[in-house]
Structure 1
Amino acid sequence: MATQLSPETLLLLTKMTEQLNLQTKTITENITAAVLQKVDEKLQPIIEENKKLKSEGEKLNQKIQNLEKNSRRNNVILHGLPETEEENHEDLNTFVTSTLRRIDVDLEKGDIDRLQRLGKKGDKTDKTRPISLSTTTLQKKSQILKNKQKMKPNSYITQDLPKSVLQAKKNGKNRYKNDNEKRKRSETPSPGNPNKTLNKIQRKDAFQFMRERSYSLSDKNTYRN
């Protein structure tokens, strides 16, 4: 037959159990804190090294972008100029110089540093390959860009910008477009909007509104008297 514990013994066991649980929790927390501290001490040099590498990588990337911009400094891209199957470099040279002459830009042989079609020849796409033109002087490039509005329809000239710059401009345009759309939606009053009347009042001339309000109150007082 099992021995029944007295209330005093049960109370003592309960207290001991609570004390043991508290001690276990304290020990666990202390061990966890010690382990985390050791992990932090081990990770801290790695974190600092990663920050340093990230900073150096950003600086290197900026240098690469600057070099790329400088390499394209005298470049322009001609779009929409037709290409023939038998086109060679001499034909391309003649075609480009004659095209630019029509927009009042005289391009001599000494003005051309590099001239080539962009992309692989014979692609099955319907798009005409653009032409990259690198001039020997920045002055000649500026003259081309100044007269680019004179190009025939369906053909145009742009600057030769790195993809990162083009993407940043595209993102900026999209952000500007989204901001405008949000602003238009916020300015459009919703049906049953209690502020609609207030907005109409605010658009009125303030003095005119006060005069109308004053006349209205005056008429009411006269009616009451």
Structure 2
Amino acid sequence: MAYKLDLLLVVKVERSNLHYPQRQVKKLYKLCWMRGVSCKIDKIQRSNDDMNLKLQTVESTLKVVLEQISETSNRCQTLEEENFHLKDQMKAMDDKLDYLENMSRRNNLIFHGVPRGNETQSLTDCELIVKDVLRNDLQLLDDVNIQRAHRIMKGKAIIVKLADDKDKQAILRASKALKDTGMFITEDFSPLVRQKRKKFLPRMFQARESGFKVFLRFDKLYTVTSQDFHVQ
């Protein structure tokens, strides 16, 4: 504002009819120029101060954001670790449940390819059919203790729960007699174990065709050599 007033004063002096010494007029010009420069410097300084204030605000905001990012990263790392532990716990729980399920099936056998008599076979009918197979086809005694026998859905398979593991092993050994009858007997496993065993079947058949002695036991494939067993 002072700079503008000085400029007006110089203009009035130049336009007036009064004669001012040249020296004073130069001083007045110089003073006006210096005030103009001073005003510009003040303006630049204010602009610089405003810029510094904005930079400080940005730095403060950036610091807060970085702290939040660091905190979020730490939380994500903690969540990842917790998720990793939860996966381990879930896997351990699944393995335990699978183990318990297989333990509950350990004395079960599945008789496949057993012809159906009628559509409304009772548990007693299924038990009689199984005993008939044991007696006539496997030549086993009647003292096999069957706790329960029933059809699996509407198929030709009957699942049998035995009271004794000795009976189970005896039936499995005698089941070779069912060859070429359309019937066969397998152990009862959980879905997870059945899936694992299914993956081994092509390798087992291929190995047998190559002359190797291999067999499945539970969810492992064993290869018999002259010295030892090899587990896969």
With the length of structure 1 as denominator, give the TM-score of the two structures.
0.56
1:72 positional shift:
0.7
d(CA) in 1 for partners of 2:156, 2:64:
67
Establish whether residue 83 from structure 1 lines up as the match of residue 116 from structure 2: yes
1:172 to 196, 200, 205: 200
**Greater relative CO, 1 or 2 (CA 8 Å, sep 6+):** 1
Identity of aligned residues (%): 25
CA distance in 2, matches of 1:134, 1:31: 67
1:34 CA drift (Å): 5.8
Structure 2 runs not aligned, ≥5 long: 1-58, 208-232
Corresponding residue for residue 142 of structure 1: 169
After superposition, give the CA deviation of every residue in 1:164-186 in whole Å (9 maximum; x if it has no partner): 11111222345x48x99xxxxxx
**Structure 1: tracts of 5 or more residues without a match:** 1-26, 122-127, 181-225
The separation in 1 between residues aligned to 2:199 and 2:129, in whole angstroms, is 35
How far, CA to CA, are the matches of 1:141 and 1:75 in structure 2? 8
For residue 197 of structure 1, what is the aligned residue in structure 2? none
Structure 1 position 38, deviation (Å): 3.0
Counterpart secondary structure, 2:148: strand
Q: Measured at CA, do residues 103 and 173 of structure 1 come closer, stay the same or move farther in structure 2, by a change above 3 Å?
A: closer
**Alpha-carbon separation, structure 1, partners of 2:85 and 2:145:** 45
Superposition map of 1:72-221 within 5 A: 72-85=105-118, 86-101=120-135, 102-108=137-143, 111-119=145-153, 121=154, 128-151=155-178, 153-174=181-202, 176=203
- Match of residue 70, structure 1, among 98, 103, 120: 103
Deviations 1:86-110 (A, max 9, x none): 53232222211011112122243x7
2:82 counterpart (42, 49, 53): 49
Instruction: Out of 30-39 and 164-173, give the one that drifted further.
Output: 30-39
CA RMSD of aligned residues (A): 2.9
Higher Cα radius of gyration: 2
Amino acid at match of 2:91: E
Amino acid at match of 1:104: Q
Q: Distance in 2 between matches of 1:171 and 1:98?
A: 34
SS of residue matched to 2:186: strand
Between the aligned partners of 2:123 and 2:200, the Cα distance in structure 1 is: 38
Query: Higher mean Cα deviation, 164-173 or 32-41?
Result: 32-41
Q: Quick check: which one's strand share is greater?
A: 2
Question: Structure 2-normalised TM-score?
Answer: 0.54
Judge which range, 92-101 or 139-148, deviates more: 92-101
- Give the aligned residue type for 1:140: D
CA gap of 1:56–1:99, structure 2 versus 1, over 3 A, is same
